[in-house]
Structure 1
Amino acid sequence: MALNFYKYQGTGNDFVMVDNRKLTFPAKDEALVNRLCDRRMGIGSDGLILLQDHPEYDFEMVYFNADGRLGSMCGNGARCAVRFARQLGLIEDVAHFLAADGEHQASVERDLIHLKMNDVASVEQVGEDYFLNTGSPHYVRFVENVQELDAFADGRAVRYNDRFRAAGTNVNFVERLSENEIYVRTYERGVEDETLSCGTGVTACALVAGMEGAESPVSVKTLGGELQVTFKRAGEGFHQIYLIGPAKLVYSGTVAL
């Protein structure tokens, strides 16, 4: 069996995209998904996304981590899915779709995708660090000289500590560049490595920066490019959260399964 696929990236966070509206992809085959995401033995990506029909939405996004397991919400992947849906003619400039953490809305504005994230009710403080869920769990730590950090080793130490070993968490390291600008590096569970960017992680870090005095919008630099997060405070949490950034087609092809 040959699989038609598309490769998309959002600030360097890359995904294998599959049009699965006919439900022909063997979604329960974790080993297959893992092989397709492998950068030496497969196509190579941080995850795989199936775009499927849904009776109540423009489409449904089903996201798999690179290890082959079903994942939680992926912000960069969702922006890529919106761009893919537009390429397929399922939407024009506005999307209403379903993801792992519920429904989302998005708009296409030239080169940027404006993705509405779900509300965040509260943020937990862990010593001097933070923990919150922006569709996926994120641990946030402010550091100095983030570009000199060993994000793999330091991120892995948190991801596999006693609290997070079983369920896992993404780990973000943040440097304040100015009042409303931060630099973020992320170790992602499921990929089990640092990625060039993480949409839900960028969102989490921008919200924590907001708790510490930053005003919306917050500009975010990552290894893969720049994003922006807008939000409004709501008591101990946040609402009207938008992740804004590019999503681009890299190439398309066919691979034997």
Structure 2
Amino acid sequence: MNLTFYKYQGTGNDFVMIDNRTNFFPKNNTKLIAFLCDRRFGIGADGLILLENHEHYDFKMVYYNSDGNESSMCGNGGRCLVAFAKQLNIIWDKADFEAIDGYHYATIDEINKVSLQMKDVDELQVFENYTFLNTGSPHHVETVTDLAQFDVKTIGAQIRYSDLYGKAGSNVNFVEQIDSDKFAVRTYERGVEDETLSCGTGVTAVAIAMYHNQFTNSNKVNLKVEGGDLEVNFEANNGKYTHVFLTGPAKFVFEGTIEIEAI
């Protein structure tokens, strides 16, 4: 069969998008999903996202890592899915949708800048050298020096697979402060098992962790990732973070078809 797909990227975090409103896609076929995400034999992406109908909201988001397994929330993927829904004329300038971590609200402007509301954060675990929190996906946040030369893949994998996080593992973010409200971030993503050019839930975790640990007193934080620039803003009240929004570009790359053999 020939499969129609769409390719999107948000600050270099790229996704295969499939309109699955007719429920034709074999969602349990991990080998097929991994093949489609393969950069040599398939389309190539950090993950695959299905857009599906929802009884109450505009649509439902189903997200898979590039290893073929369904995963936790993806912030950049959610932003790109909003842009995809706009391309399909499902929405115009705002969206209400459900993802694996619950309800999300988003706005999108005429140049596809998407502001996505992320889950509230009411628990951070602060240790001497790192902070752990969940922003829809689990994140280890650690400050380093000379981030540009840092071996993200090797050290990130060591932390991801360490006894700290057990079998489930964690995404790992390394951070260097640039200015009072700006940080450079590089992320090792579980499921991709490599550094990605950007991670939406990761920069959200970094912004909250940097504020919580008093690296910044601004609740509007700018994040420089390998694939561009993102912004996170939130309301803080006694260690609880609400109205958390991740904002940045969501770009359509191309549309195509790929022949799917039995996998």
1:113 match: 114
* Corresponding position of 2:43: 43
Cα displacement string for residues 142-173 of structure 1 (whole angstroms, at most 9, x for unaligned residues):
01111110000010010010122400110000
Compute the RMSD of aligned alpha carbons.
0.8
Quote the residue 1:244 is aligned against.
Answer: 247
The answer on 1:224 being equivalent to 2:231 is no
The answer to whether the aligner puts 1:86 opposite 2:86 as a matched pair is: yes
Which of these residues, 233, 236, 250, is aligned with residue 236 of structure 2?
233
Taking the aligned partners of 1:244 and 1:250, their CA distance within structure 2 comes to 19
What is the TM-score when the length of structure 2 is the normalising length?
A: 0.96
CA distance in 1, matches of 2:156, 2:110: 35
User: What SS does the corresponding residue of 1:54 show, helix, strand or coil?
Assistant: coil
Matched to 1:143, the amino acid is V
Matched residue type, 1:124: Q
Residue 257 of structure 2 corresponds to residue 254 of structure 1: yes
**Post-superposition shift, 1:252?**
0.6
Alignment of 1:147-226 (within 5 A): 147-213=148-214, 214=216, 215-226=218-229
Letter of the 2:251 counterpart: K
Aligned equivalents of 2:82 and 2:171: distance in 1? 23
Distance between the aligned counterparts of 2:124 and 2:252, measured in 1? 34
Q: What residue identity is the alignment partner of 1:231?
A: F
Task: Please give the alpha-carbon distance, in whole angstroms, between the structure 2 residues aligned to 1:110 and 1:179.
Answer: 30
Distance 1:166 1:175 in 2: 28
Shift of 1:216: 1.9
CA contact (8 A) 2:187 2:202 kept: yes
Quick one: which amino acid aligns to residue 239 of structure 1? T
Unaligned runs of 5+ in 2: none
CA contact (8 A) 2:19 2:50 kept: yes
Using the size of structure 1 for normalisation, the TM-score is 0.99
> 1:125 Cα shift?
1.1
Please, which runs of 5 or more residues in structure 1 have no aligned partner?
A: none
The one-letter amino acid of 1:15's match is: F
Q: Distance in 2 between matches of 1:221 and 1:237?
A: 24
Over the matched positions of the two proteins, sequence identity in percent amounts to 51
- Does the CA-based 8 Å contact 2:219-2:236 persist in structure 1? no
**Matched letter for residue 126 of structure 2:** Q
**Deviation by residue 1:195-234 (Cα, 9 ceiling, x = unmatched):** 0000000000001111133202100000000000001112
- Secondary structure of 1:185's partner? strand
Measured in 1, the distance between the counterparts of 2:198 and 2:9 equals: 10
* 8 Å contact kept, 2:126–2:132: yes
For residue 105 of structure 1, report the CA deviation from its aligned partner. Answer: 0.1
CA distance in 1, matches of 2:109, 2:233: 15
Q: How many residues align structurally? A: 257
Structure 1 residue 109: deviation in Å? 2.2
Letter aligned with residue 54 of structure 2: H
Return the alpha-carbon distance in structure 2 between the equivalents of residues 11 and 256 of structure 1: 28
State the secondary structure of the residue aligned to 1:57. coil
